[in-house]
Amino acid sequence: METPGRAVGVIPARLQSTRLPRKLLLADTGRVLLEYAWRAACRAKSLDEVIVATDSEEIAAAVRLFGGRAELTGEHSSGTDRVAEVVGRCCADAEIVVNVQGDEPELEPDQIDLLVASLRNEPGLQMSTLACPIRDRRTLEDPSCVKVVTGTDGRALYFSRHPIPCVRDADPEPLLAGDSPWLLHVGLYAYRRDYLLELTRLAPSPLEQLERLEQLRPLQHGAAIGVSVAEHSAVGIDTPDDYARFVVRAGDCPEGRAA
């Protein structure tokens, strides 16, 4: 049996953030926020290595302090481009690359394993991503919550900020409580290395520009994107209130306490 190639997790880590300044270095729990995502990725059985890709020497120093590997990058307009720079420079032997969000401290490692397995089991996929069922109307109607529709083969048909599919002649409420037809897209991605490098050389697509959704670029260019469905997703930290709630949860969890 052929031995699978290496799978590498890369966490793009930008120092500046608009709604919560310097959020990846917040440390009210005794650990910087970024360390939680790094530790979760390190627990994924499918990853051979986890690297932090950052534009900040301050973040790089914090990563080295908690025992991680950091690679400095140039300026980039997206986390995907930042990941691709490090992968192109440092990961020539990688087969699969997982883009892990540094502001999701409660990421479940088995969800990373799910995406890596998807690519290894389906040679026709260029990339894979995650979704979970939408159970409430607020999420369904919130344009900041991205929805995805899949085919019978589990591949992405479209991503949108609008509720898709649209229920023309009925109230969606009863459907939300049952076998919900709506999927919330979760921003965790796995790529074949060569495809990731190809993707970042493509110009932004018209659909991507209209919806302001980067994942529409590969879809419009014809990529096959596998969508794995999990029951729950990690909560991203975007605001001071998000972080305050996480600090409380971390205090109740042994993994959340400072070492």
- Where do the domains of the chain lie? 1-107+237-259, 110-187+204-233
- Model pLDDT, residue 256: 45
Superfamily of domain 1-107+237-259 in the CATH hierarchy: Spore Coat Polysaccharide Biosynthesis Protein SpsA; Chain A (3.90.550.10)
- Model pLDDT, residue 3: 62
Secondary structure in 3-state letters for the chain: CCCCCEEEEEEEECCCCCCCCCHHHCCCCCCCHHHHHHHHHHCCCCCCEEEEEECCHHHHHHHHHCCCEEEECCCCCCHHHHHHHHHHHHCCCEEEEEECCCCCCCCCHHHHHHHHHHHHHCCCCCEEEEEEECCCHHHHHCCCCCEEEECCCCEEEEEECCCCCCCCCCCCHHHHHCCCCCEEEEEEEEEEHHHHHHHCCCCCCHHHHHHCCCCHHHHHCCCCEEEEECCCCCCCCCCHHHHHHHHHHHHCCHHHCCC
The residue-averaged pLDDT of 83-110 equals 96
- Model pLDDT, residue 254: 52
19/132: higher pLDDT: 132
CATH 3.40.50.300 fits 110-187+204-233, yes or no: no
pLDDT above 60 (res 2): no
pLDDT digits (tens, 9 = 90+) for 20-76: 999 999 999 999 999 999 999 999 999 999 999 999 999 999 999 999 999 999 988
